[in-house]
Structure 1
Amino acid sequence: MFVRIVKMGFYEDKVQAFLDNFEQVKEQIRNFPGNRFLELYQDRNNPTVFFTYSYWEDEADLERYRQSELFIEVWAFTKQLFNQKPEAWSVNKLVTLE
C-alpha cells in the first residue's frame, strides 16, 4: 500500500465549485477498487490551497483510477479551476503513531 498526496491551488471564486464537486464524487473515488482511504485538507493560511490524501493498494490500482471515466470527468472539471499547476507525490508510509 502507498499514499498519494495531491496539492491543488484554486482561484478564490472557484473554491466553492471545487468543494461542491468533491462532495458529489468523494464516495465514488473512495470506493474505487484499490482505494482504501480518502481525505481532503484545506491549508490553514491559504484557503485556496487543498490537498487530497489517499491510500492505494498498489500503483496499478491508482493507474486504473487515473484511466477511468470517473477520474477523466473529475479532472476535466477540476483543472479548469486551478490558479497554479497541481503537484502530486506517491509516498510509502513508514510510521503511524496514534
Structure 2
Amino acid sequence: MKRFTFIALALCLFAAASVAFGQTVNSRVSGTVKDTADAVVPGVKVTLIDAKTRDEKTATTNDEGVFTFVDVRAGTYTVVAERANFKKSRLS
C-alpha cells in the first residue's frame, strides 16, 4: 500500500486571515499532499478536525495535490488524509 505525506502544511493558522470586530479570528489552512516519491496526489479526501469541538471540514485535493480550508477558527486541529490504495495519514 502506498503512503503519502503532507508537504507545506503549516497548521499554524495564517495571520493573513480576517479579524472580525468581536475578536474572532478566522484563517485559511492549506497544503499539498505528496506520495513518498514526492509526486503530488490528486483526489485525496482531507478532513480538518477541531480538537476542542470535534467539528469537521472536508476538502479534496486538486490536480496539483493542493487542498484549502477557509474560515477556520483559531485552535488546535487534526488533519486526516485518505484515498483508495494509499495508507491513511493523520497529522496532529
Q: TM-score range by the shorter chain?
A: 0.3 to 0.5
Identify, as 1 or 2, the structure richer in strand: 2
TM-score by length of 1: 0.33
Identify, as 1 or 2, the structure richer in helix: 1
TM-score by length of 2: 0.34
Query: RCO greater where, 1 or 2, for CA within 8 Å and sep 6 or more?
Result: 1
